[in-house]
Amino acid sequence: MSYFENVNKVDAWHEIRRSRFTSSVNYKLLPAGGSIHPFAKVGMTYIEEKVIELTTKMYERPELEEVESLLHGKAHELPAFERYVTETKNYSMTYIGDENPIFIECEVEKLREESGGTPDFANILDSGVIDMGGEIKCPKNPAYHFRRLDWKDQWDLKENYIEYYTQVQDLMRLTGAHEWDFVSYDERQLAKSKQIIIIPVKRDNAFIDNLELRIYLAVKEKYKLLSKRMKVELKNRTEFLNFVKAA
């Protein structure tokens, strides 16, 4: 089943993550070098987007704006996962899949309705706990994978691809896992050994603690901006929904 065939489940996934700070985009909340304000311009724009999503209806899926790259990645994600299993022998991993995406909410009560993420694959225990997972990238532009051939460890990932280092660490924050694999895959490489790159990433507690703090600050900024636009003090999602019902 292709990404756009299972409309109901995919739309439900988009709806639940809408207006929340998500793992794949939370790198925008990281501090800018030398900035006095806790968030750079890109961070404030991200926060504003979350406010707008909270106050409006969803009429189309947001990533349709980059549909060509999206479809390329989704078309190659399952083959990448299968190759990953062959290489690592991690047969217990479950491919979450694009037709049945799940959204993991933050366990911290104050962030439960404000933060979450979706893994590409995970090791799900009988208890439902995820103790390990992985993130797959299948870039349409072969130059991106080619450049990653020099990467050796998570510090190379952090230095060269902070967006996905942040995503992987945030998914470990959400699940409590202590290890996550970053996978880059490009079947166009003629040398089979160079088609896949697997970088184990360990939990970076200092990075995670700082990221969670910044999410707290972003939530505070989100409702500050919302209150300003609505002309009434609103501290959380529930207060806003009650405001909408009464308006």
Average pLDDT, the chain: 89
Strands (E), 148-228: 179-185, 196-202
Q: What is the pLDDT of residues 77-123, one digit of tens each?
A: 999 999 999 999 999 999 986 667 889 999 998 999 999 999 999 99
Report d(CA 196, CA 177) in Å as an integer.
23
pLDDT score at 15: 86
Q: Identify the H or E element spanning 94.
A: strand 94-95
pLDDT score at 4: 41
Report d(CA 125, CA 107) in Å as an integer.
17
| Best CA proximity match to 81, nearest among 53, 113, 123 | 123
The pLDDT of residue 233 is above 90: yes
List Cβ neighbours of 207 (8 Å cut-off, separation of 6 or more). Answer: 165, 169
Report d(CA 152, CA 243) in Å as an integer.
51
Q: What whole-number percentage of the chain has pLDDT above 90? A: 75
3-state helix, strand, coil in the chain (%, to 5): 50, 15, 35
Q: What is the mean pLDDT of residues 10-35?
A: 86
Based on its alpha-carbon atoms, the radius of gyration of the chain, rounded to whole angstroms, reads 19
Buried b (16+ CB within 10 A) or exposed e, 185-208: bbeeeeeeeebbbebebeebeebb
Token digits for 107? 């366990």
How is residue 232 annotated by DSSP?
S
Confidence of residue 11 (pLDDT cuts 50, 70, 90): confident
pLDDT score at 70: 47
Confidence of residue 3 (pLDDT cuts 50, 70, 90): very low
The pLDDT of residue 169 is above 70: yes
**Domain segments of the chain: what residues?**
7-246
pTM above 0.85, yes or no: yes
As a CATH number, domain 7-246 is 3.90.320.10
Q: Which residues is 94 bridged to in the sheet?
A: 122
Alpha helices, H only, 89-204:
142-148, 154-160, 162-175
